[in-house]
Each structure stands twice: as structure tokens, then as C-alpha cells.
Amino acid sequence: MYKSNRIDALIPALNEQDTVGDVVRALQENDRINKIIVIDNGSTDKTAECAISAGAKVVYEPRRGLGNAIKSGLKHSTARYCLKTDADIDNWSHSWVNKLIRDVNQIALSRAIFTSPYDDFPVTNLVVKPFLKRAHPDWSNIPLPISGTFLFDRQKFNMEQISDNWAFDISLLVQCLEKNLPYKNHNIGVLSDKRRGIEHYIPMADDIIEYFIEKFWE
């Protein structure tokens, strides 16, 4: 039985030594967070050391993949509610937690909606939204469908049906929509993370395209 009075943070990380410590410390500033779990997904830098120094519990998941990392982190959490976020954010604010936990007992998924100082969200705009428009037009106007920062009630989801790779975030949202679970979007303002080249987004797009094809066309 998961503990309903707890919220654990899950932070998958791959070579994010420059920012992971700041993310951990920002989360520690909010007393609603019980445990902070950083999942090292095969880093070759000092990501683990920086996370531990900042006060996080670090677990190691050698199988690459966003979903693999998050599911590994869930094994070390006893909380019913889990906050998933990214390790490369350089302006994480503990105030975001207060927004995401609003009505936490009444919803299954609480999603952070934000703007970026430079990111055009290429995977969202070139892959996710066009697929949703064709497969489920009623879902196509959901803002930022692959948010990356969200709080979810693990008791409401079947994690075995959630993707092990980059499609984790969108597959969680799709399951929420298919099961007609209550969810909310919360605007947290500007989120600044590591600026990436287009090569970073190619495997993400591949995983999501594969997920959509298997989900809606096969």
C-alpha cells in the first residue's frame, strides 16, 4: 500500500552534473516533498556524486530509456504521488510544487505547462501534435503534451502499459485520457533547461513515432 500523505520526486538523469544538484536543492525547499530519487541512467560524469552531495537518494539503472529510469525509481518509492521532473533544469523553483499539488487528492495527473526562453518544442510541434490531430482530434489542443514535469497518482495508472523509452511521458498522458482520469494543467511560467541540438531530439521522435504507430495504427 502506497502512502497517500507522501510525495516523492523522481529525477531521471544522464550526464547532468552541472544542474542536478540545484534541482535537488530546489525540491528540498518544499516540505511537501518526502524523498528525492535521482535515477542515474548510465552517466559518465559526476551526476551521481552531485545528486548525493545535494541530498538525493541515487539509484542506478543501466538500461537506457526514460521509462526504464522512472520505473526503476518507482521501485524505491513508497509514495502514492510522484513528481517527475528533469535533471537539466537550471531555474527549478520550489513554488512549482505548490501549483502541481493543488487538488492532488482529486486528480490523477497534474501537468506543468511552461514557456521556454529558446525552445521551439520540435518534437511536440512536428511529431506529437500532428499525430494526435489525426488519431484523436479531441486531444490535439492539449497544451504541451510532453511536458516533462508532472505529478501523478501511481495507483491510477498501469505502469506495465507505459513505455520504457522516450515515449513514457506521452504514453502516461494517453492512458490518462483513455481511462478518462481527471487531470489538470498548471502554468508555472518560464522553464529553462539545457539547450540541445536537433540530434538530441531524433531518438525522442523515433520512440514517440513508434509508440503512436503501435498504439493507433496496428
Question: Within 13 Å of residue 191, how many CA atoms lie on the same side as its CB?
Answer: 25
Q: How far apart are CA 19 and CA 17, in angstroms?
A: 6
The larger pLDDT score, comparing residue 4 to residue 169, is at 169
Burial 21-39, CB ≥16 within 10 A → b, else e: bbbbbbbeebebbebbbbb
State the burial class of residue 114 (Cβ atoms within 10 Å of its Cβ: 0-12, 13-18, 19+). buried
pLDDT per residue as tens digits for the range 44-73: 999 999 999 999 999 999 999 999 999 999
Question: Residue 6: what pLDDT?
Answer: 86
CA torsion angle 165 152 200 68 (round to 10):
-30
- Provide the edge-to-edge strand list for the sheet that holds 79-84: 57-60, 33-40, 3-13, 79-84, 150-153, 109-115, 183-190
CATH code assigned to 3-216? 3.90.550.10
Question: Residue 218: what pLDDT?
Answer: 63
169 in Cβ contact with 66 (< 8 Å): yes
pLDDT per residue as tens digits for the range 106-130: 999 999 999 999 889 999 999 999 9
CB atoms within 10 A of CB 97: 22
State the pTM of this model.
0.95
Taken in order 98, 99, 102, 104, the sign of the CA dihedral is negative
Average pLDDT over residues 144-158: 97
